[in-house]
């Protein structure tokens, strides 16, 4: 089987604190993979390692079979907060990755703006972050992430701060948007329902120091919609995952 991203036997400690014991992940091209695990088990640390921000004590990160361990600038990474610059309008916020690549401002704006309709940002080009709803800010942040690198995107709880209704709408929107692009996505969430709804595969991590407890392949019909959440297949998968999670004492 061909894998776009392979995370092999990652181990990470900070002094006497063992964070990640032995974690391996394999992500196929154009797939959506979620990570579930107790709070503090090292999910964000794992993302820092995959993106090259942190160096693992042991293990490798392979992209298309090439070693990119501790190398930045290859994988795009959207953290929990939108991190939009308040003094820049939406268009200039989203085109920043293109400017960092050396593309001139006019060309960068033109390319970024070409995605605004698909990302639901049309007519908001000149608005500033303070003028946007939470969902709109996350759309802008996701577009900026996509423009940095569309092949592999790490999304760390991008909808965690949204209210329940907006979060559900963003989940439906995200599934629709990724169908337009050839991207491999690795997604952190504390929501079992969100992970099942969005994913092709879910990795369940143990408490710290973390390792992979279980891997769930999500076999649900596509395209998925709000009715998916109440289907018998969805509820069965949710029960299986929750049963495994109850072995961890820490709450999410």
Note the pLDDT of residue 247: 61
* Cβ(7)–Cβ(52) below 8 Å: no
* Cβ(189)–Cβ(157) below 8 Å: yes
Q: Which fold has domain 1-75+152-252?
A: Rossmann fold (3.40.50)
pLDDT in single tens digits along all 252 residues of the chain: 889 999 999 999 998 899 999 999 999 999 999 999 888 888 999 999 999 999 999 999 999 999 999 998 889 999 877 889 999 999 999 999 999 889 999 999 999 999 999 899 999 999 999 999 988 999 999 999 999 988 899 999 988 878 889 899 999 999 888 887 888 999 999 999 999 999 999 999 999 999 999 999 999 988 899 999 999 999 999 999 999 887 645 444
Range list of H helices, the chain: 43-51, 90-94, 96-100, 105-113, 134-148, 164-178, 192-198, 232-245
DSSP-based three-state secondary structure for 125 = coil
Residue 49 CB partners (closer than 8 Å, separation 6+) = 7, 10, 12, 20, 55, 56, 59, 61
d(CA 143, CA 146): 5
Alpha carbon distances (Å) from 184 to 6, 57, 90, 94: 12, 25, 25, 20
Note the pLDDT of residue 222: 87
- How long, in residues, is the chain? 252
Closest CA to 14 of 42, 53, 43: 42
- Per domain, the residue ranges of the chain are 1-75+152-252, 82-148
Note the pLDDT of residue 252: 47
* Cβ(129)–Cβ(81) below 8 Å: no
Closest CA to 45 of 23, 73, 66: 23
**Structure-token pair, residue 69:** 């361990």
């Amino acid at each position: 089987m061909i894998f776009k991203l392979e995370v092999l036997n990652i181990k990470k400690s900070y002094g006497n604190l063992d964070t990640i014991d032995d974690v391996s992940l394999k992500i196929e091209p154009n797939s959506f993979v979620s990570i579930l695990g107790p709070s503090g088990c090292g999910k964000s640390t794992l993302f820092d390692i995959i993106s090259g921000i942190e160096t693992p004590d042991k293990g490798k990160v392979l992209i298309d079979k090439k070693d990119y361990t501790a190398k930045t600038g290859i994988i795009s990474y959207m953290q929990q907060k939108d991190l939009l610059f308040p003094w820049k309008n939406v268009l200039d916020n989203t085109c920043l990755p293109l400017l960092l690549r050396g593309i001139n401002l006019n060309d960068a704006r033109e390319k970024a703006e070409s995605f605004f309709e698909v990302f639901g940002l049309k007519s908001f080009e000149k608005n500033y972050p303070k003028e946007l709803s939470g969902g709109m800010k996350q759309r802008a942040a996701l577009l900026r992430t996509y423009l940095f690198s569309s092949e592999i995107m790490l999304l760390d709880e991008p909808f965690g701060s949204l209210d329940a209704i907006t979060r559900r709408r963003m989940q439906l929107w995200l599934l629709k948007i990724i169908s337009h692009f050839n991207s491999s996505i690795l997604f952190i969430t504390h929501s079992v329902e969100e992970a099942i709804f969005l994913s092709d595969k879910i990795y369940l991590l143990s408490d710290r120091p973390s390792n992979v407890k279980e891997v769930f392949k999500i076999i649900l019909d596509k395209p998925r919609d709000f009715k998916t959440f109440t289907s018998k297949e969805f509820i069965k998968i949710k029960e299986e995952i929750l049963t495994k999670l109850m072995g961890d004492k820490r709450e999410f």
